[in-house]
Amino acid sequence: MVKGRLEAFSDGVLAIIITIMVLELKVPHGDDLSALGPLLPVFLSYVLSFIFVGIYWSNHHHLLHAVRHVNGSILWANLHLLFWLSLVPFVTGWMGENHFAAVPTATYGVVLLMAGVAYYLLERAIIAREGRESVLAIAVGRDWKGKLSPVLYLIAIPLAFASRAAAGAIYVLVALIWLIPDRRIERVLPEPRAADGAAAAPPR
Amino acid sequence: MVKGRLEAFSDGVLAIIITIMVLELKVPHGDDLSALGPLLPVFLSYVLSFIFVGIYWSNHHHLLHAVRHVNGSILWANLHLLFWLSLVPFVTGWMGENHFAAVPTATYGVVLLMAGVAYYLLERAIIAREGRESVLAIAVGRDWKGKLSPVLYLIAIPLAFASRAAAGAIYVLVALIWLIPDRRIERVLPEPRAADGAAAAPPR
Amino acid sequence: MVKGRLEAFSDGVLAIIITIMVLELKVPHGDDLSALGPLLPVFLSYVLSFIFVGIYWSNHHHLLHAVRHVNGSILWANLHLLFWLSLVPFVTGWMGENHFAAVPTATYGVVLLMAGVAYYLLERAIIAREGRESVLAIAVGRDWKGKLSPVLYLIAIPLAFASRAAAGAIYVLVALIWLIPDRRIERVLPEPRAADGAAAAPPR
Amino acid sequence: MVKGRLEAFSDGVLAIIITIMVLELKVPHGDDLSALGPLLPVFLSYVLSFIFVGIYWSNHHHLLHAVRHVNGSILWANLHLLFWLSLVPFVTGWMGENHFAAVPTATYGVVLLMAGVAYYLLERAIIAREGRESVLAIAVGRDWKGKLSPVLYLIAIPLAFASRAAAGAIYVLVALIWLIPDRRIERVLPEPRAADGAAAAPPR
């Protein structure tokens, strides 16, 4: 089974997810700046979710880059991840339109947590196929971000009922942690370009 | 005619179909958990359809992998399949918003049945081009899932008027049958990677 | 400038156009078959437009296949074509929701006519780049379908005000003419696969 | 990190942005030509934004073509550009539905300005990776259009409050400046096709 279509399909789904979120920014009827006021929380939640989906795309990109063989488990683990990410526009809109109310803010965390779990399962499926000695297995073993994020979500979800600001701050913190470029896999691969360069075709 | 664009276009359409379905999950106005209650049947029908479209993508992926030459019949048989799948978001929303009422549930089965018929016609178009002795023809000949599914849909469609739960259970059953990875084509091809490896370019 | 991204972007836009049209099929509130009745004209116009966009995708596929070099004129001629095609969902919805009333039906023809003109300009831009002796120039020279279609649209547009059925019949006729596989370019290229096979990479 | 997925993801997002803008063209209820009247400003703003997104796609295409290595900065600079472009459908709809009122027209300019800034940052990130002596650095150094556009936006934004027509005219002027094919990079590369031809795989 060829990896190219898995990447192409995932890119397509992620591109649509990241773009349809903007449809929740409903064009207001007024034509002055005050008309934009009620949209501010929707806009802020859009920015946050844009960054999260961007992080997933970037990490997915790295993860799949290390894959050599695709099997049925990897394919379905990938679809499972895309399923949870497909709910991000819904929870983003719900959280934004309700000005970060407790339940929507907690639900947002639940979807992020489930996406994190799905990403972990995808990593496991790939390592099961590639072998415990693979570059990926070594890189993932050191993945402190991947281990910390679900812990932070698990703190933020109940916290949303006590302090929505604190829960929101944790989501922003997780995003910031990941925005620092993910060099896990790059670091283990000593010369990624050399490995690519060995192939007949140019990297394009 | 090059296969790459047929795959890319199909991936694009399938990625959009699987993602726009989530737009039927309208953001509720309330901000507590009870606001999510009315969305439950819409959510369940979304999960079911996500799995069905995922199955079609996965099978399409396998099917096209075995194709060497694309002609006009294959191209239009493929568009015909995409047409029926493009109706999935509509029937999913209709079934979900009406809490699995009889007519929408039966209509859902009709669209799945027509997609199954279209997939069968696509297989025929490919075999007509590739030859009866091709790997694909042998693999499809043993395709008990492909033969069982339309029979199950034909049972479920009238059954929806007697028991919507029974019809729904049959749809879930079909999904479960397919979720078991489709190894039909993989099994016949003794060493798919070797076949790929013979090509100049790496599988990427 | 590499042709691959031009094809990928066009595939993306065409895949979205063909899929968002289905969003005009609004999920009805009723749960019986009579609820689908008012949707019938919208559905019929969707089927017609799905076929037209499919025809454009198929022809675009053939046309670009014959291209060796992309320049700025080709790029903008292609965007110009995509612009007119992007209006198809709008006129499809307008025509369908108004039960093929005269003005929407004529407007539908205007958009198809403009898309046909844009396709012609794209052909000209490609021939200007590839040369009058190119395979494409010879193939297009014999293009009776491309010359007949605008004539038929020009008849259908005023006819819509006299008889909407007659105008609709002409649109269906144009679609049927094109549904016969476009072998213009295939016919001139004696062995398309041999030409591809000469390249280092497999056709994939 | 492979450039292909960065291009594929960007193509996907840009294809969706350029296409969902047409959803702001709401199907009118009337069935005569006068029903299209109120849509005229929405249509005009759609045409303008279609051209702007087309320009960005075309320039992005050229820019990425010159890239050999992708790193984390380039990836996030690219996502940052896509973020601002993802707001184009929103400001397009707002400006169109309010008949080019002052605040929406100025906001439109702000989003274009921010997209221009993001494009500049992407160029910087690429030059930082490719080196100051690279083909791209030389080409960008002469980029008078890229330097003029933000100046024009900065004039148009406050001008919108005095004369919306003048601000709109400046946006059209910027579009026209860019519609002249961007030969910056093509000019510096003496024989782009030769460079491609040196690679094992055909340009496709």
Using CB atoms, pick whichever of C12, C83, C101 lies closest to residue D50.
C83
* Residue numbers in A near B34 (CB within 8 A): none
- More confidently predicted of D70 and A50: A50
Chains touching C (3+ CB pairs < 8 Å): A, B, D
pLDDT value at position D183?
55
Question: What digits encode the pLDDT tens for the residues B66-115?
Answer: 788 888 889 999 999 999 999 999 999 999 999 999 999 999 999 999 99
Q: What angle do CA A28, A29, A31 make, to 5 degrees?
A: 90
Q: How confident is the model at residue A187 (pLDDT cuts 50, 70, 90)?
A: low
* Residue numbers in A near D73 (CB within 8 A): 181
User: Is residue B185 predicted with pLDDT exceeding 70?
Assistant: no
Mutate which of D45, D69, D90 to disrupt the A interface (most A C-beta within 10 Å)?
A: D90
- Nearest chain B residue to C194 by CA distance is B1
* Residue numbers in C near A201 (CB within 8 A): 201
Mutate which of B13, B26, B31 to disrupt the A interface (most A C-beta within 10 Å)?
A: B31
d(CA A64, CA A3): 8
> Are the CB atoms for C20 and D23 separated by under 8 Å?
yes
Using CB atoms, pick whichever of D11, D28, D182 lies closest to residue C9.
D11
Query: What is the DSSP secondary-structure string of C103-133?
Result: HHHHHHHHHHHHHHHHHHHHHHHHHHHH-TT
Inter-chain touch C17–D14, beta carbons under 8 Å: no
Q: How confident is the model at residue A131 (pLDDT cuts 50, 70, 90)?
A: confident
Contacts with D190 (C-beta within 8 Å, 6 or more apart), sequence order: none
pLDDT value at position A191?
40
User: Pseudo-torsion of CA D184, D190, D196, D202, nearest 10°?
Assistant: 100
pLDDT value at position B191?
40
Average pLDDT over residues D102-110: 95
Query: What is the DSSP secondary-structure string of A115-128?
Result: HHHHHHHHHHHHHH
> Are the CB atoms for D32 and C107 separated by under 8 Å?
no
Inter-chain touch C18–B23, beta carbons under 8 Å: no
> Are the CB atoms for A27 and B30 separated by under 8 Å?
no
d(CA D17, CA D21): 6
Please tell me the pTM assigned to this model: 0.86
pLDDT value at position D1?
52
Using CB atoms, pick whichever of B8, B73, B79 lies closest to residue C54.
B79
Inter-chain touch B12–A12, beta carbons under 8 Å: yes
Chain centroid offset of residue D172 CA? 13
d(CA A96, CA D117): 27
Q: Which of A147, A143, A148, A87 is closest to A115 using CA atoms? A: A87
Inter-chain touch C22–B89, beta carbons under 8 Å: yes
d(CA B96, CA B104): 9
Q: Kindly state the tokens that stand for A55.
A: 């992080």
Gyration radius of chain C's alpha carbons = 19
- Whose tokens are 């920015």? That residue is A47
* Residue numbers in B near A15 (CB within 8 A): 15
Inter-chain touch A72–B192, beta carbons under 8 Å: no
d(CA D182, CA D189): 13
Q: How many CB pairs under 8 A join B and C?
A: 99
Contacts with B96 (C-beta within 8 Å, 6 or more apart), sequence order: B24, B41, B42, B43, B44, B45, B46
Q: How confident is the model at residue C179 (pLDDT cuts 50, 70, 90)?
A: confident
* Residue numbers in A near B61 (CB within 8 A): 1, 5, 75
User: Is residue A194 predicted with pLDDT exceeding 50?
Assistant: no
User: Is residue C156 predicted with pLDDT exceeding 90?
Assistant: yes
Longest dimension (CA), chain D: 60
User: Is residue A199 predicted with pLDDT exceeding 50?
Assistant: no
Average pLDDT over residues A131-143: 73
Specify the amino acid at residue C117.
V
In angstroms, the separation between the Cα of residue B127 and the nearest Cα of chain A is: 20
Specify the amino acid at residue A158.
P
Chain centroid offset of residue B87 CA? 12
